[in-house]
Structure formats: C-alpha cells, structure tokens
C-alpha cells in the first residue's frame, strides 16, 4: 500500500490533519490503535479558541458546532467568597471562546471523513514508523493477524502522550521537559443545567474547583484531589458536597445536583518534547506536549500544531517548497511554550499546593487581588485564554 501521509492516531489532531489534507487532494491514511467507539467514548476538553473554531470551519465540519455550541464572552474567577468576571470580549477587542465538547468535535470529523471516503484503519495493532530519517519512510501495523506495510512521503505522529511515534525517536535526538503536579482533577458529568451561563474557576482553601458545561442541560464539574485519590472513594453525594464547599455561597446554591454519568480523575502534567520534527516524522498534539487542563489549551494546541503542519505539507505538495515543513517545529514550539506558560500560571494561581504554606497562600491571594485591579493583568489573562495568534 502507498499513500502520501500516514497519520498515526485518530484523536482531534490526526482527524483534523486528515480532513484538511483530504480537502486539498493530498492522500492520507489514519491508523488508530483503539476502536472508533472507544475514541468517541473519551470525555475530555470542551473549550475551543477562535482559531480552533476557524480550523474546524475550514475542514468543513463546523455546522453542528455553530448550531449546538455555546459561545462564551467571559468567565468568572471566584476567591475570597466572591466572583470576579473576566470580560474576554471587551479585553480582547471582540474575541470569545466556544464551549463544544471534544467528543462532538471528534464525531463531526469522523463523520466527514467517512463521507469523503478517506481511509482509516481502527484497531490497528503494533503500529510502527520506520526509516523516517531517510527519503522512503514506511509504517507497519497488524490487523486481524496480518502484518501490513504502508509506504509514504511523511508520517504524522498524532498518537497522544502514550503513543508510539515519540517513543520511536532515539533518546539522544529528543529533549524532554516535564513537571508533574501533586494533584489531579476529579471530574463528573451530570445531566443537569449548569450553575451559571459561563465557567467558574474557584480558588479555595480546600482546593481548586471548576464549574463547566457541555450544553445548557449537561454540566461538567471538577474538584482538585491529591495524587493517589481513588474515584471509588467519591460517591456523587461526597462530590457535590465538596464542590459546593469550594464555591461562593451564592454560586453553591445555583448548583443543581443529579446522578453522575461519568466520573474520573485526570492527573495534571506539563510536558514538552523538542524538536517536533525528526526527518520525515512530525509530532503533533499530545504526542509532543501536555498541559494541565486549567487553561483549556490541550485540544487547542493540537489544532495550532495542525495549522502549521498542514500549511507546511500543502506548500510542499502544491508549491514544491519545503520551507513550511522546515519551519514547522520552531513555529509550533514557540506557540506551545507560551501555552505551557499560561497553563502553568493558571494552575499555580488557582490550586492549593501541599507545600505552599501561609506565605504561598498570601502570594496567591496578592496575585488574584492584583489581577482584578490591573487592566494590563486582565488583558494578559484574556488574550491567552481566547488563544494567541497563529
């Protein structure tokens, strides 16, 4: 088998790249380890930057997002028993974010790919990129007991943090930067109306909490929990009590409780692999970097990587120029590190750290106090939250 680009991974990065390439006639095959149903069952990100919305439109999959998504002009930060609004729209000269779940983004991209007849192989086992440091790379995989080989021009490693692509690169060729936080987010989804129209990020002496949503009748809530906490130790009742204890009383009263339909704990990590290109293998999305979810940047960074990678590949095929793919790693990493900084700052400012002590608490309080007294500080927060330019 032969194609122009083999894409490893059918998450948002792989599907978006595949659709953009397909739309301009560049042949590609997606190889995914999991089943289609499994990929669709993963509940993850939910806040899309304008740049991500624009790319989904460009890929031709934006219609349902514009119909069912919730555009948000701002969000609240709660501390000291009060809520303070960040007016994203005013602070950024008219920008906003779109609340639309990653599951929906993935489903829209999968449906479009099926309509266009582009090739995807789900439950592809033992996927391996080969010879990407030369001119003739290829990828092997196993399916139903048979080994297959796909020859290609390029390999896009869009296979997430635990994927095979980054691990295929010799250790001496890659630099890894990592910070692991001493807590995770316990999240639930419930079929109840959200506590408010916009998101509420809460800094509280008991720990961080977030009120989010997927729609006007489906809520997504999180509370910070120490590393090692077990989901089974959290009944719905315990979760709701803890969430309400971390919110200002007026907001706590607005929380509608109900049975959870999903409950899980996500660890928090900052991680970057440099560079993001190794010969004819490119890393994109979580395969190359992870951010703690506090800044809502994970999925959006996957989209901005694909912006640079797709532009580079299109230039290569349409204009016979390698300038875009040569610049890919540098351009992507410059934006990745700014999102890493912002996500780290949001995490440090809003969470309770086990070793922060009274001094750390005072500093955190001063940081938030300053934020709401300074137009410059608010603008920094707002322009990062809606997404830096590509």
Ligand X SMILES: Cc1cc2nc3c(=O)[nH]c(=O)nc-3n(C[C@H](O)[C@H](O)[C@H](O)COP(=O)(O)OP(=O)(O)OC[C@H]3O[C@@H](n4cnc5c(N)ncnc54)[C@H](O)[C@@H]3O)c2cc1C
Residues that bind ligand X (CB under 6 A): 8-14, 31-34, 39, 44-46, 102, 124, 127, 158-160, 162-164, 266, 285-286, 293, 296-299, 302
Q: Distance (Å, rounded) from C-alpha 255 to C-alpha 258?
A: 10
Does residue 141 carry a catalytic annotation?
A: no
Does residue 201 carry a catalytic annotation?
A: yes
Q: Looking at residue 2, what DSSP letter applies?
A: B
Around Cβ 181, how many Cβ atoms within 10 Å?
19
- In the complex, least distance from residue 302 CB atom to ligand X, rounded to whole angstroms: 4
Catalytic residue among 72, 95, 204, 289: 72
Nearer to ligand X, 64 or 269 (CB): 269
| Nearest residue to 139 (alpha-carbon basis) of 22, 29, 289, 16 | 29
Does residue 72 carry a catalytic annotation?
A: yes
- In the complex, least distance from residue 305 CB atom to ligand X, rounded to whole angstroms: 8
Around Cβ 107, how many Cβ atoms within 10 Å?
17
**Residues in a beta bridge with 278:** 281
Instruction: Label residue 361 exposed, middle or buried (CB < 10 Å: 0-12, 13-18, 19+).
Output: middle
Exposure string for 200-212, b = 16+ CB within 10 A, e = fewer? bbbbbeebbbbbb
Contact 17, 158 (CB under 8 A): yes
- In the complex, least distance from residue 177 CB atom to ligand X, rounded to whole angstroms: 17
Q: Distance (Å, rounded) from C-alpha 271 to C-alpha 291?
A: 7
- In the complex, least distance from residue 313 CB atom to ligand X, rounded to whole angstroms: 17
Does residue 143 carry a catalytic annotation?
A: no
Catalytic residue among 204, 297, 351, 352: 297
Angle at 287 between CA 283 and CA 292, to 5 degrees: 130
Nearer to ligand X, 302 or 346 (CB): 302
Catalytic residue among 100, 201, 308, 316: 201
Cis amide leading into 115 (omega within 30) = no
Nearer to ligand X, 163 or 194 (CB): 163
Nearer to ligand X, 150 or 158 (CB): 158
- In the complex, least distance from residue 297 CB atom to ligand X, rounded to whole angstroms: 5
Does residue 66 carry a catalytic annotation?
A: no
Tokens of 272: 């970057």
Nearer to ligand X, 90 or 119 (CB): 119
Catalytic residue among 137, 292, 293, 316: 293
Residues marked active site are found at: 72, 201, 293, 297, 385
């Amino acid at each position: 088998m032969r194609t122009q680009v083999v894409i490893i991974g059918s998450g948002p990065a792989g599907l978006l790249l595949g659709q953009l390439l397909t739309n301009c006639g560049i042949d590609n095959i997606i190889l995914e380890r999991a089943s289609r149903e499994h990929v669709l069952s993963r509940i993850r990100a939910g806040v899309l930057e304008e740049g991500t919305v624009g790319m989904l439109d460009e890929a031709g999959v934006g219609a349902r997002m514009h119909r069912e998504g919730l555009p948000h002009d701002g969000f609240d930060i709660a501390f000291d028993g009060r809520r303070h609004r960040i007016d994203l729209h005013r602070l950024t000269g008219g920008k906003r974010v779109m609340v639309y779940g990653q599951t929906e983004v993935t489903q829209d991209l999968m449906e479009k790919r099926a309509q266009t007849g582009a090739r995807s192989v789900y439950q592809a086992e033992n996927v391996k990129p080969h010879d990407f440091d030369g001119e003739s790379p290829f990828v092997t995989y196993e399916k139903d007991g048979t080994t297959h080989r796909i020859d290609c021009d390029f390999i896009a490693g869009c296979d997430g943090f635990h994927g095979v692509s980054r691990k295929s690169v010799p250790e001496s060729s890659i630099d890894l930067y990592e910070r692991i936080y001493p807590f995770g987010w316990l999240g639930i989804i419930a079929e109840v109306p959200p506590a408010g129209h916009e998101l509420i990020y809460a800094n509280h002496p008991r720990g961080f909490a977030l009120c989010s949503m997927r729609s006007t009748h489906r809520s997504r809530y999180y509370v910070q929990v120490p590393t090692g906490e077990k989901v089974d130790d959290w009944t719905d009742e315990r979760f709701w009590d803890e969430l309400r204890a971390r919110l200002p009383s007026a907001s706590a009263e607005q929380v509608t409780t109900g049975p959870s339909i999903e409950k899980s704990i996500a660890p928090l990590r900052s991680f970057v692999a440099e560079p993001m290109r190794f010969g004819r293998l490119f890393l994109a999305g979580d395969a190359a970097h992870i951010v703690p979810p506090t800044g809502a940047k994970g999925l959006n960074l996957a989209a901005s990587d694909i912006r640079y990678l797709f532009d580079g590949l299109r230039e290569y095929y349409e204009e016979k120029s390698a300038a875009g793919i040569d610049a890919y790693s540098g351009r992507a990493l410059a934006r990745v590190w700014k999102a890493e900084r912002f996500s780290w700052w949001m995490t440090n400012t809003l969470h309770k750290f086990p070793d922060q002590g009274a001094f750390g608490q005072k500093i955190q309080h001063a940081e938030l106090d300053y934020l709401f007294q300074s137009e410059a500080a608010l603008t920094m927060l707002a322009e990062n939250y809606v997404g830096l330019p590509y």
